[in-house]
Amino acid sequence: MSDPLNICIVGSTGSIGRSTLEVVRRYRGRLRVVGLTAGTNVEKLIEQALAFRPEIVAIRDEAGCRRLRDALAHTDIVVLSGDEGVCSVAAHVSARTTVISVVGFAGVRPTLAAITAGKTVALANKESVVAAGPVVMPLAQEHRVPIIPIDSEHSAIHQCLRAGRTDEVARIILTASGGPFRQRPAGAFDTITPQEALAHPTWRMGPRITIDSATLMNKGFEIIEAAWLFGIDPDRIDVVIHPQSIVHSLVEFHDGSTMAQLGAPDMTVPIAYALFYPERPEPAARPPIFDPLTTARLDFEQPDAERFPALALARRAHAMGGTGGAVLNAADEVAVGAFLNGTVRFPQITEFVSDALDAHRVPGTIDIDALENADRWARQYVMSRIEQPKPRASRETRITELR
């Protein structure tokens, strides 16, 4: 057997991080964890560090560092803290591949650190491209670093594109489950509760991405991500609702051929694909599979643009260029948090995002500082609007504003 592939996982205590460690277990001896990081979940990070014995760990929360150091004092594991510590793990010398699985803008700096260090990036943090594509993608090209997406949809596109060149693509078709409100009348959106929105019919994810799936903002992010990752104009990226979540995405070529990637809705499969690409090794334990004989039907439908304005907002943010994606992401994150704590209603999530895009002005120079400034501005802007809400508009007025 060849030497194991050394990996670091930035965000190991979240859902994708835990699934990545499950992949390590499934491919016994083929993967070795050399670095782990967490945000605040120090107890879970301790548990993982003791189980996998990496060379280095980091926790963003400075307060949890003492507990982490004490728990690992009897080991040789190096313990770091803060943003710098997380970036050090992302760029760790022993790693060949760095998995970026943290949620939000917090993933941008570690992604840049991994790219600068020449690591292959297995990317689950879509915000690194949505919010920081103008900086991340040129840097990856400069360092000739491959970015392999972990999102099931973008992993599907990546796999389908192995059948043809990018210049042969007519369009990309992203599939969306439709979330829990696919058939809910628009007039009932005002009464949606966080508990209802968190009850995703197919996937088990973190709270923010689950709400983003319910608004379809997550799919809007994926339009931007696909545009950056594959060099495809957003006008050639379509979204269809596919409630079974079996077809993860499709690529249509100019000759009329359409390639689709199918699989069980399980994140360990795209994670393994990203880690081992271009190989497809056989795991020690059989992964979940798609069995066509047990699938009664595969349905597809057009998303309702009026009930789900997030798709149009994402296209608008990308068209703004520069810091548009950073504002979209930050405004959405704050609005989603306010919905989860009961401060705003479900339809207001996209209303506040639209307001932020209206108010933002893209600066002339786009670098990491400009993106971070835009991120801070958007958060403060939406928080101020939440604290001083505008009068409640009718549904018809809100739809007109978001068009």
List pLDDT tens digits, range 289-301: 888 888 889 999 9
Where does the pLDDT of residue 401 fall: very low under 50, low under 70, confident under 90, or very high at 90 and above?
very low
Give the model's pLDDT for residue 390: 55
Instruction: From 188, 238, 216, select the one nearest 350 (Cα to Cα).
Output: 216
**pTM (whole model) above 0.85:** yes
Specify the domain boundaries for CATH 3.40.50.720 within the chain.
5-150
List pLDDT tens digits, range 223-232: 999 999 999 9
Specify the domain boundaries for CATH 1.10.1740.10 within the chain.
309-403
Q: Please, what is the angle between helix 368-387 and helix 108-116, to 10°? A: 170
Q: Is the pLDDT of residue 270 over 90?
A: yes
Instruction: From 75, 96, 94, 84, select the one nearest 37 (Cα to Cα).
Output: 84
What class, spelled out in words, does domain 5-150 have in CATH?
Answer: alpha beta
What class, spelled out in words, does domain 309-403 have in CATH?
Answer: mainly alpha
Residue 227 parent element (H or E):
helix 217-230
% residues pLDDT > 90 (the chain): 80
Averaged pLDDT of the chain: 92
What mean pLDDT comes out for the span 371-381? 97
Which residue matches tokens 């992604």? 111
SS3 289: coil
Q: Is the pLDDT of residue 397 over 90?
A: no
Q: What is the spatial distance between Cα 123 and Cα 149, in angstroms, rounded to a whole number?
A: 5
> Which is higher by pLDDT, 400 or 145?
145
E strands, 215-328, where? 237-241, 247-253, 258-262
Q: Are 313 and 361 in contact (CB under 8 A)?
A: no
Q: How is residue 300 written in tokens?
A: 């597809």
SS3 148: strand
CA geometry: angle 319, 145, 24, nearest 5 deg = 110
Q: What is the spatial distance between Cα 59 and Cα 65, in angstroms, rounded to a whole number?
A: 6
E strands, 224-352, where? 237-241, 247-253, 258-262
Q: What is the spatial distance between Cα 137 and Cα 126, in angstroms, rounded to a whole number?
A: 12
Q: Is the pLDDT of residue 104 over 90?
A: no
What mean pLDDT comes out for the span 175-182? 90
List pLDDT tens digits, range 382-394: 999 998 755 554 4
What's the number of CA atoms in the CB half-sphere (13 Å) around residue 315? 17
What mean pLDDT comes out for the span 233-238? 96
What mean pLDDT comes out for the span 236-244? 95
Question: What one-character DSSP code corresponds to residue 74?
Answer: T
